[in-house]
Amino acid sequence: MDLLTNLAVGFASALTLQNLFYCFVGVSLGTFIGVLPGVGGLAAISLLLPITFYIEPTSAVVMLSGVYYGSQYGGSITSILLNLPGETSSAVTCLDGHPMARQGRAGVALMMTAMGSFIGGVVGIAVLIAFSPVLSAVALSFGPSEYFAVMVLGVLAAATVGQGTPLKGVAMVVLGLLLGTIGTDLNTGTPRFTLGFFELYDGIDLIAMAMGLFGVTEIIASVLSSEKGQVIQKVRFREMFPTRDDLRRSVWPVVRGTGVGTVFGTLPGTGVTLASFLSYAVEKKVSGEPERFGRGAIEGVVGPETANNAAAQTSFIPTLTLGIPGSATMALIIGALMLHGITPGPRLMADHPQLFWSLIASFFVGNVMLVVLNVPLIGLWVRFLQIPYKLMYPMIIVFICIGSYSVNLNAFDVVVTFVIGVVGFVLRACGFQPAPLLIAFVLGPMMEEHFRRAMLLDNGDWTALFQRPVSGSLLVLSICLVLWACWSAYANRWRGRARIAFEQDV
């Protein structure tokens, strides 16, 4: 009964004209920022943070939170239409979303993205309400060993993402891990593989990597290709709705994506990017037709987008209930609260119940606003495909340059983006897919950091990783995954030889 009372108080506050206005401003700005490649919600929240000092605390946090999860909606738009991820968590959406757009199904892809994002967001909010204390305790129990085991499982899953043989996937994972080591060693302060460039002391920026691998590579491939895809002249509202087959194929990806996003959103330091990539890997692994992925599979769009929006909501659990920011964006949310003298942590729900429950209620309101905003605009977004290619490519290049430069205000990042794009095109021409590289690039540094921390705590005894229940189980699961992949590759080769021998005998 207390829960219903608290929710009633929260909605009463969230539905005031002032909070509705700031919620609308937040989600609208977040969607717009998400559409702009490379800018992201972090930059927008950074710019808005000083302004919140002059706004009532609840309204300030409602607006900043709206920018955060609104950018997750908007990030998928350019990923689907232009193969240019607006957010790093939307990079995986490029793999199947853009092929759907080139097949003339951009409206369906955007509609299913909006539906999946809404479902994932709402379920994430429900979990946030019901299980915050429990999930916070679980997240707090995760140490370096557990985080390392999760990262290992994620890296191994990365090898199965994309087309081609598993060996090529492993090669791209290794390349991603190597690129992730570039920069300053956090433990010793020693520069590694910087080639004398001071700009690489902080490593290769993730935005530059994502836009180079997907945006620049796609531009080069499209310019050199004679195939331009299907250009949609006009999209009627009923043509945006998915077919029965699309709905049938999307039900379980939405369920699994929600589960993946809910779990990984509660773990500090993992965030929406890991959730979306792992969701894609799970969908490809459980699919009976993995060859469809990368060619416009609706599951490869709905699953990750559901996961990243569920993770965006549940990432508030450690932030609000423990005071532990799971990402730089969450750190800014904490900063906004502390500007008003409010300290996030276990006492937040007791000391500031109206703020907490108003924020939770605003999540529901904001997700409804996002659906109302995005669905009518699908036709407008799709009409971007009518722009002639000779005008589209310069516009995309301008967006790439602005996005790369705006992160660190450094022209060197623009150069790095285009170098990565050229390398990505060469790898793509050789049959290597970019997704495993990007996943390993994201997880590699975190995996190294947690492994070294675990070894320091366990005095260098690596067997201690297997003695902890969670990390041991995950590592055993990882070993089983490797053995299963090796067995599958051997069985497929054996079946192929048997089929050739049978055809020769016939």
Pick the range with the lowest mean pLDDT from 3-7, 65-69, 189-193. Answer: 3-7
Identify which has the larger pLDDT, 5 or 256.
256
Residue 64: partners with Cβ closer than 8 Å, 6 or more residues away = 26, 45, 48, 49, 52, 332, 333, 336
d(CA 485, CA 8): 51
For the segment 141-165, the average pLDDT, to the nearest whole number, is: 71
Pick the range with the lowest mean pLDDT from 43-52, 88-97, 147-156, 175-184. Answer: 43-52
Check residue 230 and give its pLDDT: 45
| Residue indicated by tokens 């927008």 | 44
Q: Is 392 exposed, middle or buried (0-12, 13-18, 19+ CB in 10 A)?
A: middle
- Where residue 36 falls among pLDDT bands split at 50, 70, 90? low
pLDDT in tens, 322-353: 666 656 677 677 777 877 777 776 667 767 78
Check residue 21 and give its pLDDT: 92
Phi-psi region of 242 (alpha: psi -120 to 50; beta: other; left: phi over 0): beta
| Residue indicated by tokens 């700005």 | 29
Q: Is 459 exposed, middle or buried (0-12, 13-18, 19+ CB in 10 A)?
A: exposed
| Residue indicated by tokens 């957010």 | 87
- Alpha helices, H only, 266-352: 271-286, 299-314, 316-321, 328-339, 348-351
d(CA 354, CA 11): 10
Q: What are phi and psi of 184, to 5 degrees?
A: -90, 130
The chain-wide mean pLDDT, for the chain, equals 77
Check residue 491 and give its pLDDT: 67
Radius of gyration (Cα) for the chain, nearest Å? 23
**Which residues on neighbouring strands pair with residue 183, listed in sequence order?**
192
Check residue 233 and give its pLDDT: 45
d(CA 69, CA 344): 19
pLDDT in tens, 389-421: 667 677 778 877 877 777 677 888 888 888 988
- Where residue 289 falls among pLDDT bands split at 50, 70, 90? confident
For the segment 369-379, the average pLDDT, to the nearest whole number, is: 77
Identify which has the larger pLDDT, 485 or 249.
249
Pick the range with the lowest mean pLDDT from 162-166, 192-196, 260-264, 340-344. Answer: 162-166
For the segment 28-36, the average pLDDT, to the nearest whole number, is: 78
Closest by CA to 281, choosing from 268, 300, 255, is: 300
Check residue 385 and give its pLDDT: 58
pLDDT in tens, 222-277: 777 655 544 444 555 566 678 888 888 888 888 888 888 888 777 655 567 778 87
Is the pLDDT reported for residue 40 higher than 50? Answer: yes
Check residue 43 and give its pLDDT: 64
pLDDT in tens, 76-122: 777 787 777 766 667 778 888 888 888 878 778 888 888 888 888 88
d(CA 264, CA 124): 11
pLDDT in tens, 51-66: 777 788 888 888 888 8
SS3 192: strand
Check residue 164 and give its pLDDT: 57
